[in-house]
C-alpha cells in the first residue's frame, strides 16, 4: 500500500521524490503492484477470495475488475467501485484541514503540523460514525464522558502519521474508479459488468463515506454479486467488525461464498 509509511511513501523516499514531491498514486497502482507480487513473487495464479475494508474495499473492487479471470470471489466491506462526489468532498475537507496549518508549508514542513492534524482528526471522528451512534452516546464505548472527546480517539487510533503520507492516501481514495484505466477507458458500467467473481457487496447501513445506495446500484450490474447490507449504528467504523453481530454477518457471508 503505497504511502502507508512502510511501503514506498513520501516519508521514507529519498530526495528528489520525498515529501510533497512523491508521485501521486492510485488504487489501480496499488493493485497492479500487488498483482505483480502475487503472480511473479509468490507464483499464485488464482485467488479464491479478495476482501478488504474501506480502502481495502476499493482494492477488492479493483482486483475483481482488473483481473476477472483470476479472482473467484470478492467481498468489499464499506467500499465502492468509484469514489462518489460526496465522498470526494469529505476527503477534500481533510486535505484542506491539513493544508491550512501554516507549519505544513505545502508539504515542506520542518516540524510536525500538529494543528492541521488535530483538525483532520476532528473532522474524521465525526464522519467515521453515524448520527445514531452519537444519539445513543456511542462515545461511552470508548470509556469517554463526552462526544467532545472523540477526536482524541482518532488521534490515538491513527497516531502521529506523516501528513504527506496521509495526503497520498486521500488522493488515491478520491481518484478511485475501476474504469479509469486502459482496460475500460472510463466506461464504468462495462467495468462492473465485466466482473466475473461471485461476491457480496457489504456496506454498513449507516456509512457516511460509502453510501449503501451506491453499492446497491453497483451490485445490480455485477453478474454474480449480491448486495448485502450490514445493520450497524457504527457508521463507517462498523466495517471494522468490532461488534459481534457485524462480524457474524460477514463471516457467514464469506463462508457461504467459499462453500464452507
Q: How far apart are CA 85 and CA 152, in angstroms?
A: 28
| 229: Cβ contacts below 8 Å, ≥ 6 apart | 202, 203, 204, 205, 212, 215
SS3 for 145? coil
80-98 burial code (b ≥16 CB/10 A, e <16): bbbbeeebeebbeebbebb
Structural domain contains residue 66: yes
Instruction: Look at residue 154 in the predicted model and tell me its pLDDT.
Output: 76
Instruction: Look at residue 210 in the predicted model and tell me its pLDDT.
Output: 96
Strands 198-201 and 50-53, by their bridges, are: unpaired
E strand segments, the chain: 50-53, 73-77, 198-201, 225-227
CATH of residue 93's domain is: 3.40.50.1820
| 18: Cβ contacts below 8 Å, ≥ 6 apart | 10, 11
For residue 16, cis peptide bond before it (omega within 30 degrees of 0)? yes
Structural domain contains residue 6: no
**What are φ and ψ of residue 19, in 5° steps?**
55, -135
Using CA atoms, how far residue 10 sits from 77, 81, 121, 148, in Å, is: 28, 26, 20, 32
pLDDT tens string 84-105:
999 999 999 999 999 999 999 9
pLDDT tens string 15-30:
999 999 999 999 999 9
CA max distance for the chain: 55
Structural domain contains residue 3: no
Q: Annotated active-site positions, please? A: 54, 207, 236
Domain of residue 88, residue span: 19-258
Q: How far apart are CA 204 and CA 210, in angstroms?
A: 9
Instruction: Look at residue 155 in the predicted model and tell me its pLDDT.
Output: 75
Give the burial class of 222: count Cβ atoms within 10 A of its Cβ; 0-12 exposed, 13-18 middle, 19 or more buried.
buried
pLDDT tens string 123-139:
999 999 999 999 999 99
Structural domain contains residue 4: no
Instruction: Look at residue 260 in the predicted model and tell me its pLDDT.
Output: 66
Point out the residues of the chain with pLDDT beneath 70: 157-160, 260
Tally the domains of the chain.
1
Structural domain contains residue 8: no
Structural domain contains residue 178: yes
Structural domain contains residue 9: no
Structural domain contains residue 60: yes
Amino acid at each position: 500500500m503505497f504511502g502507508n509509511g512502510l511501503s514506498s511513501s513520501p516519508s521514507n523516499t529519498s530526495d528528489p521524490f520525498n515529501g510533497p514531491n512523491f508521485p501521486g498514486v492510485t488504487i489501480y497502482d496499488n493493485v497492479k503492484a500487488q498483482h505483480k507480487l502475487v503472480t511473479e513473487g509468490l507464483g499464485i495464479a488464482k485467488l479464491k477470495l479478495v476482501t478488504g475494508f474501506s480502502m481495502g474495499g476499493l482494492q477488492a473492487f479493483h482486483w475483481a475488475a482488473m483481473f476477472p479471470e483470476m479472482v473467484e470471489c470478492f467481498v468489499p466491506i464499506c467500499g465502492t467501485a468509484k469514489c462518489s462526489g460526496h465522498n470526494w468532498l469529505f476527503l477534500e475537507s481533510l486535505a484542506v484541514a491539513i493544508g491550512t496549518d501554516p507549519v505544513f508549508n505545502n508539504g515542506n514542513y520542518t516540524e510536525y503540523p500538529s494543528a492541521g492534524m488535530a483538525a483532520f482528526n476532528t473532522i474524521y471522528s465525526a464522519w467515521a460514525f453515524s448520527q445514531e451512534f452519537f444519539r445513543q452516546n456511542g462515545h461511552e464505548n470508548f470509556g469517554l464522558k463526552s462526544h467532545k472527546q472523540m477526536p482524541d480517539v482518532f488521534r490515538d487510533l491513527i497516531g502521529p502519521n506523516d501528513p504527506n503520507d496521509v495526503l497520498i492516501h486521500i488522493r488515491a481514495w478520491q481518484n478511485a474508479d475501476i474504469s479509469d484505466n486502459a482496460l475500460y477507458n472510463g466506461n464504468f458500467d462495462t467495468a462492473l459488468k465485466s466482473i466475473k467473481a461471485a461476491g457480496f457487496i457489504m456496506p454498513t447501513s449507516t456509512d457516511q463515506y460509502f453510501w449503501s445506495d451506491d453499492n446497491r446500484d453497483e451490485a445490480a450490474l455485477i453478474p454474480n454479486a449480491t448486495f448485502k447490507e450490514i445493520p450497524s449504528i457504527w457508521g463507517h467504523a462498523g466495517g471494522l467488525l468490532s461488534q459481534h453481530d457485524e462480524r457474524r454477518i460477514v463471516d457467514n457471508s464469506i463462508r457461504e461464498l467459499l462453500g464452507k
